[in-house]
Amino acid sequence: MTGRRRDKTAPRKVEGRATVSSARNVPGVSHASSAAPGAALLFGANTYSFMRSLSAAACLARLADQGFDEFEIMVHPGHLWPADMSSDDRSALRRLIEQRGLALVSLNMPNIDINVASAASGMRAYSLKLLVDTVRLAGELGARGVVIGPGKANPLFPAGADELTRYFFEALDLLGPVAESAGTALWVENMPFAFLPGIRELLAALDRYGNDKVRIVYDIPNAYFIGEDFADGLRQCRDRLELVHLSDTGRQNYRHDPVGLGTVPFADVPRALAAVGYAKPKPMLEIISRDPDRDIIASAAKLAVLGFKHPH
């Protein structure tokens, strides 16, 4: 593998934009149209692309108007930020979700600004304070889970695995009871920039921790980027699996691009999901784009022709 892995939240130059007819790069797809009937109903939508431009409420309304009804909201200042939300704000957002018949699957905090495995105790404390506030907010909004990472190592001179794992477990010790009290759950994601990037080592750590209530979000492009066989990865984590993320990437530059701009073999995904009995929540489109109104629904349309099924 060549190239430098990058945090999914790092600012980056957009190298291209998907168009409605740009399915040429999607393995197994020769043509796709954004007008594919009901495509949005096959997938959930993550709000990453809107977190710097719209409030969470405005974003959900906008995506719901496009046909999406399951969501993962990014936790970001100006979009959804616990310290900025009054009790009335929280009630209003939950009321919007319920009145429009939507489902809030999860909250997800970008991991570039926090690190629960930092060598600096102050950084760990700051990260955990943000996550505690996010977990409590998730409970108030009715989100099923909160997506977290195990933490990051210094890429030039990393701490030992035992030290990093100890910090990760200390974070779970703190956050687990908060999640249970709030009526939500902790969902750990496989992340290329984490000190446990692959699903095998992440599961081994969680098995050591010994709490089956800690679940897994399996990000297929994250797995593909590090050279992991995602069908095998899904089989490994099936007993803890709660949610699947979808976007496109190559293997040299880490991306969460619209479908068609990378090399993820999406034609293999429906079969891999069926093999582990995955049906709900809907696979979550975590597309990062400068033109999300076009690219999220176009990605759904391109994937819809590959055999993704409506959940039962």
The predicted structure's pLDDT at residue 309 = 82
CATH fold of the domain at 44-304: TIM Barrel (3.20.20)
The predicted structure's pLDDT at residue 45 = 98
The residues near 184 (Cβ < 8 Å, ≥ 6 apart) are 135, 138, 139, 143, 144, 145, 146
Burial 14-48 (b: 16+ CB within 10 A, else e): eeebbebebbebbeebeebebebeebbebbbbbbb
The predicted structure's pLDDT at residue 21 = 33
Q: Where are the domains of the chain?
A: 44-304
The predicted structure's pLDDT at residue 111 = 75
The predicted structure's pLDDT at residue 312 = 59
End-to-end CA distance of the chain: 39
Stretches where the chain sits below pLDDT 70 are 1-37, 312
Contacts 24+ apart (CB under 8 A), 13-17: 14/289, 14/290, 15/261, 16/261, 17/258, 17/261, 17/289, 17/290, 17/291, 17/294, 17/295
